Structure 1
Amino acid sequence: MRILIVEDEVNLAEALTQILKKHHYSVDAVHDGLTGLDNALSGIYDLLLLDVMLPGMDGMKLLRTIRAEGIPTPVIMLTAKGEIPDKIAGLDYGADDYVAKPFSTEELLARIRAALRRKGEVVPEDGLRFGDIELHPSTLKLSCKGKELKLILKESELLELLITRKQAVTSKEQMIEKLWGFDSDAEHNNVEVYISFLRKKLTFLNSAVCINTIRGVGYVLEATS
C-alpha cells in the first residue's frame, strides 16, 4: 500500500518515511502544499498523512480541493493544533482522522490501519490468502501447502497488489504508479522482471496460482482447481 506524507518539517517527514517503510508501506514524502496537491490528485495513493500548516497551500485547502475533485483517498491530519475546533474543521472538510503532535508511532500505525479498513482495503496483519497461497507482507513470506519462502520487497508488494485487486486485470502502468510512484523512472521491463521472479517462485512452491498475461492490457492472478 502506498502512502503520501505532506509535511514541511523535513526531519519528521524523513522519520515517518523510515517508520512506514519498516512496516512495508511504500512511501512518498513532499514538503509543501502545492506539491502535495499535485501528488494527491494522481489518485495512486491508498492514504495521505497531511499536515495543516504548509507553505504554498495549507492542509485544509488541500483537503477541500481533493475532495472537491472526487478523490476519496483516506486522509489523516497531522498537526500541532490539538484544539477541538481545529479537529472539527478538519473532519468537516473530509479528513478521516486527526492526530495531534507529538504522537506515538504505535498509535499512528493503528490509526492508519483503521483508516484503510474503513476504506475497505485489506490490511495485511495476519496474511493475505488467494487460492492455495498465503502472503505475509510484514515478514515478506509466501507459503503454500506447508512450503515457505521469502520474497524481496518489490515481489511482495506486487503480489499483494494482485491479490487485493481481486482478480481484476492490473496494467503495467498501474503497477509502476503503485509500487514505484507516478514520477518514477521505472519502466515496463521492471514490472516484467518481477512478474518473472514471482512466477518462478509460485512454480517452486507447486502452487495452483498463476499470473496470467492479458495481452495489451496487463496481468491477472488466477487459481486453477
Structure 2
Amino acid sequence: MRVLVVEDDRETADYICSSLRALGHVADHAADGRQGFLLALDSEFDVMVVDRMLPGLDGLSLVKSIRGAGVATPILFLSALGALNDRVDGLEAGADDYLVKPFAFSELSARVSALARRPPMQAEETRLRVSDLELDLIRRSVCRAGRDIPLQPREFRLLIYLMRNADRVVTRTMMLEAVWEFNFDPNTNVVETHISRLRNKIDKPFDRPLIHTVRGAGYSLHG
C-alpha cells in the first residue's frame, strides 16, 4: 500500500511514515499543502493522510482542490480540531474519514487499511438537473431557469441530497444522517429551518415549487 502523509509537524510525520514502513507500506511525505497537492496530482496513492492545519494551503482547501481536480484517492483527515463542526467540515470538504489527535497508531493504521480496501469510486456526474433547476458539483453553483442562486454550504449539501433522490420521499432522519452526519435525532428543527431557506431561494421567486412536503413522511423534490 502506498500512502501520502501531508503533515507539517516533522516529529509526527516521521512517526507515521516510519510506522507505516515498518508494516511494509510505502510512505511519502509532504510538509505543506502545496507540496501535498502536487504529489497527489503527480503520483498514485492508495490513501492520503492529511493534517488540517497546514502551511501554504490548509487541509480543507487542499482536499477541496484534490477533489476538484478529479482525484478520488481515499483521504483521512488527522487533526487536533475534534469538535463536531470540525469533523463535519472535513467530511464536507471531501475527506472519507477523520481521526483526532492525539491518536494511537494502531487506530490510524486500521483506518488507513479500511480506506484502502474500499472499492474504487465510480465516476459520477458532475451536474444534477431536476426540471429547470441545475446544480454544478465542480463549480459549486446552482441556477434555476438560468438565474444564479447563491447557497450556503449546508444548503448546497442538502440540495445535492434532495436532487440525487429526486422523485423519492426522504425523511427527516435520512436528511440528518446524510447531511449533518447525525445517526440519531438530536431533537432539533435544523432540517425544517434549512428546507425553509431552500424554498425561499429555489421555489419562492418562481412560478412552480419543486420542494414538496409529504405529510407524515418527509419531503420530495420533483418537477
Q: 1:154 to 1:61 in 2, by over 3 A?
A: closer
1:80 alignment partner in structure 2: none
Structure 1 residue 133 displacement after superposition: 0.8
Once the two structures are superposed, what CA deviation does each residue of 1:138-167 show, in whole Å capped at 9, x if it has no partner? 444322222222111111111110011132
Q: 1:145 to 1:95 in 2, by over 3 A?
A: closer
Instruction: Report the Cα distance in structure 2 between the residues aligned to 1:8 and 1:23, rounded to whole angstroms.
Output: 13
Instruction: Report the Cα distance in structure 1 between the residues aligned to 2:188 and 2:170, rounded to whole angstroms.
Output: 13
2:200 alignment partner in structure 1: 200
Q: 1:131 to 1:177 in 2, by over 3 A?
A: same
Instruction: Report the Cα distance in structure 1 between the residues aligned to 2:60 and 2:183, rounded to whole angstroms.
Output: 17
Q: How does 1:39-78 map to 2 (within 5 A)?
A: 48=96, 55=104, 57=106, 75=115
What code does the residue aligned with 1:146 have? G
Structure 1 residue 187 displacement after superposition: 4.8
2:26 alignment partner in structure 1: none
Once the two structures are superposed, what CA deviation does each residue of 1:74-127 show, in whole Å capped at 9, x if it has no partner? x4xxxxxxxxxxxxxx5xxx3335xxxxxxxxxxxxxxxxx142xxxx442xx2
1:208 aligned counterpart, secondary structure: coil
Q: Per chain length, whose mean CA-contact separation is higher, i.e. which structure has more relative contact order (CA < 8 Å, sep 6+)?
A: 1
Structure 1 residue 190 displacement after superposition: 1.0
Q: Which residue of 39, 63, 68 corresponds with 1:20? A: 63
Tell me the TM-score normalised to structure 1 length. 0.51
> What is the percent sequence identity of the aligned residues?
22
Instruction: Report the Cα distance in structure 1 between the residues aligned to 2:187 and 2:67, rounded to whole angstroms.
Output: 22
Once the two structures are superposed, what CA deviation does each residue of 1:161-207 show, in whole Å capped at 9, x if it has no partner? 00111322212122122222227996541111110111112234416
1:166 aligns with 2:189: no
Task: Give unmatched runs, 5+ long, in structure 1.
Answer: 1-6, 32-38, 40-45, 67-74, 76-89, 98-114
1:36 alignment partner in structure 2: none
Q: 1:136 to 1:8 in 2, by over 3 A?
A: closer
Q: How does 1:78-97 map to 2 (within 5 A)?
A: 94-96=117-119
Q: 1:217 to 1:135 in 2, by over 3 A?
A: same
Q: How does 1:1-225 map to 2 (within 5 A)?
A: 12-14=50-52, 15-20=58-63, 29=77, 48=96, 55=104, 57=106, 75=115, 94-96=117-119, 115-117=121-123, 122-124=124-126, 127-182=127-182, 187-206=187-206, 208-223=208-223
Q: 1:18 to 1:141 in 2, by over 3 A?
A: closer
Instruction: Report the Cα distance in structure 1 between the residues aligned to 2:203 and 2:133, rounded to whole angstroms.
Output: 12
Instruction: Report the Cα distance in structure 1 between the residues aligned to 2:150 and 2:66, rounded to whole angstroms.
Output: 16
Instruction: Report the Cα distance in structure 1 between the residues aligned to 2:171 and 2:76, rounded to whole angstroms.
Output: 21
Structure 1 residue 219 displacement after superposition: 1.0
Instruction: Report the Cα distance in structure 1 between the residues aligned to 2:130 and 2:193, rounded to whole angstroms.
Output: 22
Across the aligned residues of Structure 1 and Structure 2, the Cα RMSD in angstroms comes to 4.2
What code does the residue aligned with 1:95 have? R
1:85 alignment partner in structure 2: none
Task: Give unmatched runs, 5+ long, in structure 2.
Answer: 10-49, 53-57, 69-74, 80-86, 88-93
Q: How many residues align?
A: 153
